[in-house]
Amino acid sequence: MQDNLLDKNHIQQVSSFTIMLEEFKNGVKNLSPAYFAIVMATGIISTGSFLMDMNRIANFLFVLNNIFYIIMWALTILRLVWYSKSLIKDLTDHMSGTGFFTIVAGTCVLGIQYIIMFEFFEIALALLILGIFLWLFLTYAVFTTLTIKQDKPTLDKGITGGWLTAIVATQSVSILSALIASHIKQPYRIEVNFFALSMWLWGGMFYIWMISLIFYRYTFFKFSPGDLAPPYWINMGAMAISTLAGSLLIINAPDAPLLESLLPFLKGFTVFYWATGTWWIPMLIILAIWRHIYKRYPLKYDSLYWGAVFPQGMYAVCTFRMSEALEIPFLHYFYNAFIYIALIAWALTFSGLIRHFLAEFAKVKLKINAMKNQV
């Protein structure tokens, strides 16, 4: 009888482990390509907190962001090993393919943290090299595939604000390059600044292409609450990160003759980007009210909400840097307000993540208890 009891306990333990492993593997299989946005959001809000002298919050988020970055890479590698077909399917899909650019942006935002907060030049440089490699691969892999594939969706079914993550990734490479350029000596400073400038210009051109399609989709196709996914906030975020990149190029200009000769152009386009991003904020708030209050669309946790948190933090940081670069002190009202808004948005989204995990854990526990009752 004792042996039977031991066998029963052993079977229950093995079955419990099997259930937990299956649920974990299912989570890995369905991992959103855009989940690296949690690294983007946490990283830029940490940086913004540091610039506003909120060092305890900044350091806490910095540590947390390193953990997020490691976890996301581990899960992505497991997905590549266990479910490569599922990953490739997402990579070649119009709706999810551009989500992979969050890997580039997350990598570079972490590098930005290392160089701004602690001046760890070597780590930032390593992350930049990784970011450039990922950017090159994803840019040509994703957009070549979307170009040559035979079965394509219509515009209203194939494009979202998430496509602008490609611009965010491009500008994150520009920003980290500009920061590294300010820490190295000649002659490499010239080359790195030129590279940062080129990426900034390409990101701006890319935005013009994409936002034209997105705005056309907005105004000439049926628009339901379900279509207004959180990544539409990247309409503003892509302009905010472009503003930050431009501001850093302006700051670098005294030590870079090419940038100095382009200062009027750099200043004009940086303000242009900031003004465009600022215009989007009331529009996105109105649409959010329409979605959740007027149309009563349920507000529940979704990994895509990290894509809405990031632009708010980036707007605070870009406004801070632009006010320095262009010597516009009255802009401190904007960045002081937005860093707190971004922190609140981050806290709410993170609490949603915790509740989501607890709910999933409760479901797994119910399955295990049901299994034990059957044994």
Domains of the chain as residue ranges with CATH: 33-374 (1.50.10.150)
Tell me which amino acid residue 233 is.
Answer: W
Q: Output the six-digit token pair for 167.
A: 């611009």
Contacts with 35 (C-beta within 8 Å, 6 or more apart), sequence order: 72, 75, 102, 303, 306
What is the structure's pLDDT at 370? 67
Q: Output the six-digit token pair for 292.
A: 């959740």
What is the structure's pLDDT at 5? 46
Name the CA dihedral angle for 341, 234, 90, 46, rounded to a multiple of 10 degrees: -40
What is the structure's pLDDT at 6? 47
pLDDT tens-digit map of 232-245 = 889 999 999 999 99
Neighbours of 131 (CB within 10 A): 24
Q: If we measure between CA atoms, which residue out of 205, 241, 223 comes closest to residue 294?
A: 223
Query: Residue range 36-60: average pLDDT?
Result: 96
pLDDT tens-digit map of 72-108 = 999 999 999 999 999 999 999 988 899 999 999 999 9
Position 363 pLDDT exceeds 90: no
What is the structure's pLDDT at 294? 87
The torsion region of residue 327 among left (phi > 0), alpha (psi -120 to 50) and beta comes to: left
pLDDT tens-digit map of 112-153 = 999 999 999 999 999 999 999 999 999 999 999 999 988 889
Contacts with 236 (C-beta within 8 Å, 6 or more apart), sequence order: 277, 278, 280, 281, 284, 311, 315
Neighbours of 63 (CB within 10 A): 10
Q: How far is CA 138 from CA 100, 269, 279, in A?
A: 7, 27, 30
Query: Residue range 28-44: average pLDDT?
Result: 93
Q: If we measure between CA atoms, which residue out of 287, 288, 268 comes closest to residue 276?
A: 268
Helices (H), the chain: 2-29, 37-51, 55-82, 84-91, 101-117, 121-148, 155-158, 165-181, 188-220, 234-252, 257-261, 263-289, 306-325, 332-374
Position 276 pLDDT exceeds 60: yes
pLDDT tens-digit map of 279-313 = 999 999 999 999 888 888 888 888 888 999 999 99
What is the structure's pLDDT at 12? 55
Q: Is the pTM for the entire model greater than 0.75?
A: yes
Please give the helix or strand (H or E) that residue 93 lies within, else none. none
| Mean pLDDT over each residue of the chain, to the nearest integer | 90
- The larger pLDDT score, comparing residue 148 to residue 227, is at 148
Burial of 312 (0-12, 13-18, 19+ CB in 10 A): buried
Out of 158-167, 226-235, 345-354, least confident range: 226-235
Query: Residue range 20-44: average pLDDT?
Result: 89
Percent of the chain past pLDDT 70, that is, above it, reads 93
Q: Output the six-digit token pair for 144.
A: 């070549």
Contacts with 185 (C-beta within 8 Å, 6 or more apart), sequence order: none
